[in-house]
Amino acid sequence: MTHRHFIIHKPYGYLSQFVNNQTRRKNKKLLGTLADFPEEIMAIGRLDEDSEGLLLLTTDGKESERVRSKKVEKEYYVQVDGLITPEALANLSNGIEIGIKGVKYMTLPCKVKALKPPPNFKERTKKVRDDRHGPTSWVSITIREGKYRQVRKMTAAVGLPTLRLMRVRIGAIQLDSLESGEVIEVNRLEI
């Protein structure tokens, strides 16, 4: 069997799924509306509805496991509510306690840095609050794990709730200039 692979820029407001099998989600936007994907397609990892950016798709379960492993870095650019401090950067990079399904979990050490100047992303469909509500800052967080809403929980744990989250890199694959909603089919996922 020849497997198929796709690189997409998941737009804000979309679920990382293709089939809507829950009636409570019938008005949600699904990835399947972005392109004509094969029936066996699956997202490698997920981005929640409020998150944007790089998402890889495949029909190959072994490839999905390889990419989701702790061997592959995932980098996120995160706009947070407030000004990032050296102390917050250190706490994030050393690992921080978050909750996963009601259980306390210590995140693995990761790479964290303030982004100055901030990235120049296009406005998303639902505007992030404006500066009248206080300052915001951008931070790059690179992790090798992927717990449920992990990056959002990490920034909240240091008192800086996430306002906007954009995955910009998975291994060697970068979001670069891929437009929101754009889909590219590739022969292989060169991580």
Burial class (CB in 10 A: 0-12, 13-18, 19+), 21: exposed
Q: How far is CA 17 from CA 55, 66, 151, 189, in A?
A: 11, 20, 20, 19
Helices 150-157 and 86-94, interaxial angle, to 10°? 130
Residue with tokens 């409570």: 24
For every residue of 32-69, which 3-state class applies, written as one string? HHCCCCCCCCEEECCCCCCCEEEEEEECCHHHHHHHHC
Residue among 78, 81, 93 nearest 139 (CA): 78
Q: Tell me if residue 48 is catalytic.
A: yes
> Which of 48, 50, 81, 130 does the annotation list as catalytic?
48
The two structure tokens encoding residue 153:
């929980």
Residue among 5, 31, 4 nearest 20 (CA): 31
Catalytic center residues: 48
